[in-house]
Structure 1
Amino acid sequence: MSRAAIIGGGVIGGGWAARFLLNGWDVALFDPDPEAARKVGAVLDRARASLPALYDRPLPPEGALRVCDTLEDAVQGADWVQESVSERRELKHKVYDQIAALLPEGGFIASSTSGFKASDLAATGAPVVVVHPFNPVYLLPLVEVTGAPELRAKALPVVQSLGMYPLEMQTEIDAFIGNRFQEAIWREALWMIRDGIATTAQIDDAMRMGFGLRLAQMGLFETYRLAGGEAGMASYMEQFGPSLHWPWSKLTDVPELDTALVEAISDQSDAQSGHLSIAELEQLRDDNLVAILRGLRRTESGAGGVIVAHEAQLAAGGEIDGLPITSCRAVPVTWTDYNGHMNEAAYLELGTWATDGLMKLVGADETYVASGKSFFTVDTRIRYLDEVHRGALLTVTTQVLEGTGKKMKLFHRVLTEDGSLAATIETLMLHTDLTTRRACPPEPQVAQALEDLAARHAGRPAEGAGGAVGQRN
């Protein structure tokens, strides 16, 4: 079991702890704040309710969290040290001196700094590489990695194993890439409020209702490429390049944060979202991010591609009571309704992916479908036996009731973490030629694999199979 030492248990340190823990690492955390354990626990609870919901496979078993009384206790024997203390260079140097004395040969410190260059952080001689995340660390995949090449090379595979996207920077700059963009937008927003042009709510609406949605899935340059039409980027630059010389923005000027401006921003922010607590806003943010990221994973665009690539490395399959596990996943918020539990359509989707898992098991996978053959659903019956809430880990086992000729009849059992039965899904499928769209026998290897499973599962009880709608035994 790998172990990470997290030094600093604030918002970022807590997020790192959650990211490591939910990816199977043990975590030793040190923060002199007496409230550190409670604060990290709250972050971990939010992460448990959101990160597993991004995946269609289960994450590794959660690691163990240990809150340490001393920095030495946390660092000793750690495979990875993540520093997330306050953004004060002298404090970081003091902490690095303590950590460096405890590092094994070849060990290094990963810093969460939001702006300092690695060479500045390493000025006292400690081996430091910048691994700068974005909040919430347990959901957003981007980490900017900068520093000595040999340390970057060590950091990259670890970050990727956590399901994150390391943006490696060969050239050191203050504030890196992401924060430079955020600062430019922040500065312009301050001027708009200072000059009475816009309110905090109007500025946020301009982002979330417009260009922010585009940036989430394509970024800046691909978006502008589309704006150029069929002629592409060159056309865009020709049309809109001259406007860069127009005095639209004040990106190089900084407004004075005097009392009047601070009060204006504070009052407007209170009016905009003061009716919600910070905890409520954090949950809203996480729920929205899960929905957006699950949407992006369908096309593997942007962060969605990172999730799909990480998921491919997660363990899948296995058996329960002699039946194959065809799906295992946490319930995302997008599967829940206004009653707070999993809705009817989500059970059908879960059954669909379990059927897909069984198809792959018998050889009717993506390659088989691409060759022109597949199974089409003819009939489905779902029994809802227990309430299921967001974040619940559901495991589906599949019994082949019939697997001869053109027919494939399956019985899915949806199990909760304690093994109880939450639902059953019975589905009948016909093997189909995708060219003629007519039923036909499966290819011999698929037919044989299906018959073998049907024979193995024959004689097993399948309570609820074959019943009428509303029938309960």
Structure 2
Amino acid sequence: MIAIKTIGLVGGGVIGAGWAARFLLNGFDVTVFDPDPDIARKLNEVTANARRAQAKLMSGLALPEGTLRVAASIDAAVRDADFVIESLPEIEALKIKVLAEIDAAARPSAVIATSTSGLLPTRLQSGMAHPERLVVGHPFNPVYLLPLVEICGGEKTSQATKDIAAALYERIGMRPLHVRKEIDGFIADRLLEALWREALWLVNDGIATTEEIDDAVRYGAGLRWSFMGTFLIYRLAGGEAGMRHFLAQFGPALKLPWTKLDAPELTQELIDTVSNQSDQQAGGVSIRDLERKRDDCLVSVLGALRAQDFAAGAVVKAHEARIMSLLGPAETEAEADDSAPLCLWRGRVLSEWIDYNGHMTESRYLQCCAEASDALLRRIGVDAAYLASGRSFFTVETHLMHLGQAKLDEALRVDTQVLGGDAKRLHVFHRLSRDGTVIATAEQMLLHVDTEAERAVAADGAVLAAVEHLIRAHAALPRPDSAGRAVGAKR
């Protein structure tokens, strides 16, 4: 299987820019061609939103980003790429023409994916000299957050092509869904299309506004869909007897005139009605602000599901573990000189960290220091494999001092000093700084534990060796004046 390092993108609209952001944040170099003269600005703005969302979803975990380059032609965008993604408008003739151009320009080993949301890959590969390397990789917006990607091959697509694509998508934290049979609209969009058609009828017939229809989804079934879908939810609706009872009880309703699956004609009147109601619903909020609100809500849902290790949350948790393993034990600015305090965490003050006074709320000071503690543990070898073995460090005591304030978007860093320890204990001191000024300190004692027995046990091997190395390296550092300080003591 080819080693994929560079990504070529043709089309940098909503989907193409989302792909660019997702790959960049996962360490891939990306080259984009799009004739839009403003494409560089748009790509940078979408990537900034993606970076912001990623920092919220996986706080303290960030791979070194890849590089972004805007190319002047299709050939320049794809000729050196290991994997190419086409994300053009859903116009079959256009896609056939451009995919043939990509096929002619790309290196022989490159896989070519199309982001089409419903066009048949057999038709799209009809103009290619090497159709076996075309596969559908249909994502969902925002591409940099939602994990689902539908994979579908055409009649001439090789299994190797589908396998390479699936492996790459999993590598960047996605959940491939293999479409067994080539079908217009694939799976997800056929479901979305049915809801969309019914929604248009409800507006067309004056039964509901666009906002009321969205409320019916977001306050009701949409919340359940985010983690259990349709069939599992309906199984629960059948009670202890399950799906069979549900079908017996509610199946007859399928013959009732509840839906109109043929879409109404998109008359100018209906277009105006839907557009005007949508404008009113948005209330003048910009697209970028709406995108950030969408991202924040998705991060909240994904974060909650991650805590349950369920559905899309399980995908996020697995990708988080992968990033931890890739970051390895040596992510520190002081790597060349362990005798200095270690800078193990950097970040910015996020909007949700701000209190009613316009300053960072007190719990976030501890969060920043806790992120540094987690980074320190990764540095000494407490990685996913170590945690899976049933061993970890638990914080048993913390003393936090608030020395200054931080405001929205200010840059922060934490420098960590190891004060002491042994096979069971790790004593650390964090300094949280803004622009060189210390605004908080946190002294922590961590115990090495057996997570199943929930009791302290001695560390050994590489982890103990790493702890002892840092203790020796920091032994000559001046002990912080506030170390061991009692609450209320004179500053």
TM over 0.5: yes
How many angstroms does 1:381 deviate by? 1.6
Which residue in the other structure is 1:228 paired with? 238
CA distance in 1, matches of 2:16, 2:72: 16
CA distance in 1, matches of 2:32, 2:314: 31
Amino acid at match of 2:51: R
Contact 2:427 2:446 in 1 (8 A): yes
Contact 2:173 2:319 in 1 (8 A): yes
Q: Secondary structure at the match of 2:119?
A: coil
Which residue in the other structure is 2:74 paired with? 71
Which residue in the other structure is 1:188 paired with? 198
CA distance in 2, matches of 1:441, 1:266: 62
Amino acid at match of 1:292: V
1:98/1:301 CA distance change after superposition, 3 Å:
same
Q: Secondary structure at the match of 2:24?
A: helix
CA distance in 2, matches of 1:201, 1:340: 32
Which residue in the other structure is 1:134 paired with? 140
Q: Does 1:50 align with 2:67?
A: no
1:321-400 → structure 2 map (5 Å cutoff): 321-322=337-338, 334-337=352-355, 342-355=360-373, 361=380, 366=387, 375=394, 377-385=396-404, 387=406, 389=408, 396=414, 398-400=416-418
1:459/1:359 CA distance change after superposition, 3 Å:
same
Q: Secondary structure at the match of 2:30?
A: strand
Q: Secondary structure at the match of 1:86?
A: coil
Q: Return the structure number with greater relative CO, CA threshold 8 A, min gap 6.
A: 1
Q: 2:104 aligns with which of 101, 104, 117?
A: 101
Q: Which runs of 5+ in 1 are unaligned?
A: none
1:377/1:67 CA distance change after superposition, 3 Å:
same
Contact 1:47 1:138 in 2 (8 A): yes
Q: Secondary structure at the match of 2:322?
A: coil
How many angstroms does 1:404 deviate by? 5.8
Q: Does 1:199 align with 2:235?
A: no
Q: Secondary structure at the match of 2:207?
A: coil
Amino acid at match of 2:65: E
How many angstroms does 1:237 deviate by? 2.5
CA distance in 2, matches of 1:435, 1:312: 20
What's the % identity of the aligned pairs? 45
Q: 1:146 aligns with which of 152, 165, 173?
A: 152
Number of equivalences: 466
CA distance in 2, matches of 1:201, 1:291: 22
Contact 2:149 2:174 in 1 (8 A): yes
Contact 2:429 2:442 in 1 (8 A): yes
Which residue in the other structure is 2:20 paired with? 17
How many angstroms does 1:338 deviate by? 5.6
1:419/1:105 CA distance change after superposition, 3 Å:
farther
Q: 1:162 aligns with which of 157, 162, 172?
A: 172
1:385/1:462 CA distance change after superposition, 3 Å:
farther
Q: 2:258 aligns with which of 237, 242, 248?
A: 248
Q: Does 1:317 align with 2:326?
A: no
How many angstroms does 1:200 deviate by? 0.9
How many angstroms does 1:142 deviate by? 1.2
* Residues 131-162 of structure 1, C-alpha deviations (whole Å, 9 max, x = no match): 11111111111111111223211211111222
How many angstroms does 1:470 deviate by? 8.0
How many angstroms does 1:220 deviate by? 1.8
How many angstroms does 1:46 deviate by? 1.5
Contact 2:234 2:243 in 1 (8 A): yes
Contact 1:385 1:421 in 2 (8 A): yes
Q: Which runs of 5+ in 2 are unaligned?
A: none
Q: Does 1:424 align with 2:441?
A: yes
TM-score normalised by L of structure 1: 0.86
How many angstroms does 1:197 deviate by? 1.3
Q: Does 1:37 align with 2:56?
A: no
1:68/1:407 CA distance change after superposition, 3 Å:
closer
TM-score normalised by L of structure 2: 0.83
* Residues 92-135 of structure 1, C-alpha deviations (whole Å, 9 max, x = no match): 11112211111222323211111101111011235321111111
Contact 1:52 1:330 in 2 (8 A): no
